[in-house]
Amino acid sequence: MARAKKQIAKRVAAREERGSDRTVATNRRARREYEFIDTLEAGIVLQGSEVKSLREGKAQLSEAYARVDDGEMWLFQMHIPPWRFATGFGAHDPDRKRKLLLHRGQIDELLGKTQQQSLTIIPVKLYFKDGKAKVEIALAKGRRLYDKRNLIMARDAEREAARATKEINRGGWA
């Protein structure tokens, strides 16, 4: 009896150490290509083998986007590779469209904003929250080439300034 309690305590401690909120994939390219206007958290409808594959940390969001079809929000071109133990009936299509779970008001608001302006809905991050798969989606506006260049120059200037202040604080320049 005591042995079983110790095993359960070890499992609970390991689960807490891993954390219930765990990021599976991020869309780093989106931060470079788009300017985020608003972000939302959405649930995602997945098959069993997809969840297993996500728990192994396998997913790609780089080419993914979301769109409203027939009053429902769908996520397109997100790649979740098949789970290695799923064969036949249990396997899934890696590039299928996946339904996002949002409130009706949120869907209508996003649809209205994308129709009025030239905005895109893109997934930013895929993660587990309290054991459920969630997607952080952003309403975004595409950056132009000169905006990207200005962003890179500003980031480099900020890094140089940080290096210089660090060097001064260390006593390198006197």
Cβ atoms within 10 Å, residue 52: 19
Domain ranges, ordered by start, for the chain: 20-143, 144-174
Between CA 38 and CA 36 the distance in angstroms is 6
What pLDDT sits at residue 95?
77
What pLDDT sits at residue 13?
63
Contacts of residue 80, defined as CB under 8 A and 6 or more positions apart, other chains included, come to: 46, 50, 53, 54, 58, 59, 60, 92, 94
What pLDDT sits at residue 18?
56
pTM of the model: 0.70
What is the domain class of 20-143 according to CATH? mainly beta
Burial 142-158 (b: 16+ CB within 10 A, else e): ebeeeeeeeeeeeeeee
pLDDT along the chain (174 residues), means of 10: 72 60 84 88 88 85 90 91 71 82 92 89 92 91 79 89 89 62
What pLDDT sits at residue 29?
85
What pLDDT sits at residue 86?
67
What pLDDT sits at residue 84?
75
What pLDDT sits at residue 62?
86
Largest interatomic CA distance in the chain: 71
**Alpha helix ranges (H) inside 20-121:** 28-33, 48-55, 104-116
Helix (H) or strand (E) holding 167: helix 145-170
